Structures are given as structure tokens and as C-alpha cells.
Amino acid sequence: MFLEPGSVDMVRRIHHVKFGAIAFGCMLMMVNSCRKDDAALSGTVQRREDQIAPLIADFAFSPSICSTPVAIDFQNESKNATSFDWDFGDGTNSIEVNPHKTYQQSGDYQVRLTARASGRSAVVTKTITVLATQGGGPVAKFEVAINPQLRTEITITNQSINADSYSWDFGDGSQQSTTTLLDFVHQYPGPGVYTVALRASNSNGGNCFTVLIDINP
């Protein structure tokens, strides 16, 4: 093929332009690919953050209000936590999941629970009121026996002293009982750990007593 003078320079320019266009196109492809990868990575991180379960600190306790001395059972209702720090408001602490605490002095106590997991923490605070024991007040006490043949059934023997009325909480969500029978039976819906709480009362005040039972048929 015969090339006229100056054609070689023209070919070189054409090749240079084509090569530059190809290189620029490759750069655009690389940049767009990086942007897509960054967007995909950002979306993955966001999805992972969205998938982290919320950390919730919460607890219940029983009995709610009683006279000294009173033993309080704490039921930990926190969500997605792996460790716990309890501050009972009187200078004592615990790291148990469901601790038990006896208050010897009357007063209002700010109980704080800190739930922790993977560097995160959540805090909840509730007030426990402990009343002063008055002279002539009742003394609450009872015993629990599990039926060996029907292990979801318990027999309660009320041993309280100087009480006129009783309020029972069986810890299973059932309706509270005010029976004055000294011996009676309660049926649980299934296995579990339950707190039986009694508040015995008279005109001088009330006193509480709790027993933790393990129903395991």
C-alpha cells in the first residue's frame, strides 16, 4: 500500500487518539467499578448495622412494697445482653443474672441495672420502697412442698404470725390470691423457676416473705 507524504504522521495521530480514548475509557470503567464496589461495601456495612439486635435493659422485682427486713427477688428482663451489673442503691452490687437482695433498713432505694454486650451498654433504674417495721406488725413466713407425683403442683403451709390478711403472688402471672387458709395447693402451668411471695398484714403494717422454687417435672 502506497502512503502519500504526511500520511504516516496522520496514522500516528489516529493511533494516538484511539489509544488515548481506549485508556480514558478503561480509566472510566475502573472508576465506575470502584464506585460500585464502594457502594456495595457501604450497603453491606449498613445492612450489618441494621442487623444488630437492640440492647435493652429491664427488670422486675417482687414483692413491690414491704417492711424491713425484706428479701427482694429480681427478675432480669433484659434483651440481647451478655453480662450485667446491679447497683442496689445501698452500696451493694451484684453481677448475677437474677439476684436476690435483703434490705434491713427502710427507705427508697434506686436500683440500677446496666446490661452489656459487645462494647455496648444500656441502663435502667427503678425505685424500691422499703417501709419501717412498726411495733405489733405481723411476721410473714411459709413453707413450700412440691408434690412428688405431680411436680407442677405445690402445697403451701402458711406459718405467719400476728396477721389479719394475706396476699399471695405465685410468680407465674396468675391472679393474686387473698386466701386465709393456712394450707392450700397451687398448680403451675409448666416447668420453670418461680418466686412465691407473701405479704402478711394487720393494722400496724405489712411484712413480706419470698421463696424461690424450681418446677422441673
Note whether residue 16 is domain-resident: yes
Q: What is the number of domains present in the chain?
A: 3
Q: Does residue 155 share a domain with residue 126?
A: no
Is the same domain home to 24 and 72? no
136 domain-assigned: no
What does pLDDT average to over the chain?
82
Give the end of a domain, one of 131, 150, 183.
Answer: 131
Task: Tell me, yes or no, whether 118 and 151 share the same domain.
Answer: no
Q: pLDDT tens across 72-82, in order?
A: 989 999 999 99
64 with 111, same domain: the answer is: yes
Instruction: Specify whether 127 is located in the same domain as 70.
Output: yes
In a domain, 137, yes or no: no
**Mean per-residue pLDDT, 121-147:** 92
The answer on 123 and 84 residing in a single domain is yes
Q: How confident is the model at residue 147 (pLDDT cuts 50, 70, 90)?
A: very high
Residue 147 lies in a domain: yes
Q: Per-residue pLDDT for 126 more than 60?
A: yes
pLDDT at 63: 83
Label residue 158 by pLDDT band (50, 70, 90): very high
Which range has the worst mean pLDDT, 33-47, 107-121, 133-147, 180-194?
A: 33-47
Predicted pLDDT of residue 18:
47
**Domain limits for position 78:** 59-131
Picking from 83, 103, 131, the residue at the C-terminal end of a domain is 131
Mean pLDDT of 22-44: 49
Element (H, E) at 37: helix 7-51
146 & 207 share domain = yes
Residue among 209, 167, 215 at smallest CA distance from 73: 209
Q: Is residue 153 part of a domain?
A: yes
Q: Quick: pLDDT tens for 36-75.
A: 555 554 555 445 555 789 999 999 998 877 888 888 989 9
Say what the pTM is: 0.61
Same domain, 66 and 112: yes
Retrieve residue 33's grid coordinates.
Answer: 467499578
SS3 106: coil
Give Cα separations from 12 to 2, 4, 17, 106, 215 (angstroms).
16, 14, 9, 99, 92
Taking the C-alpha atoms of residue 111 and residue 90, their distance in angstroms, rounded to an integer, is: 9
Please check whether residue 65 lies inside any domain of the structure: yes
Q: For the residues 179-191, what does the mean pLDDT come to?
A: 95
| 130, 107 Cβ separation under 8 angstroms | yes
Distances (CA, A) of 140 to 76, 127, 144, 184, 214: 25, 23, 14, 16, 21
Question: What is the structure's pLDDT at 2?
Answer: 47
How far is Cα 51 from Cα 39, in angstroms, rounded to an integer?
18
Residues in contact with 214: Cβ distance below 8 Å, sequence separation at least 6, in sequence order: 192, 193
Using one digit for the tens of pLDDT, what is the confidence trace for 69-119? 888 989 999 999 999 999 999 999 999 999 999 999 999 999 999 999 999
The H or E element spanning position 94 is strand 93-94
User: Which CATH number characterizes residue 186's domain?
Assistant: 2.60.40.10
Residue 4: is its pLDDT beyond 60? Answer: no
Give the mean pLDDT of 196-204. Answer: 91
**Does residue 11 surpass a pLDDT of 60?**
no
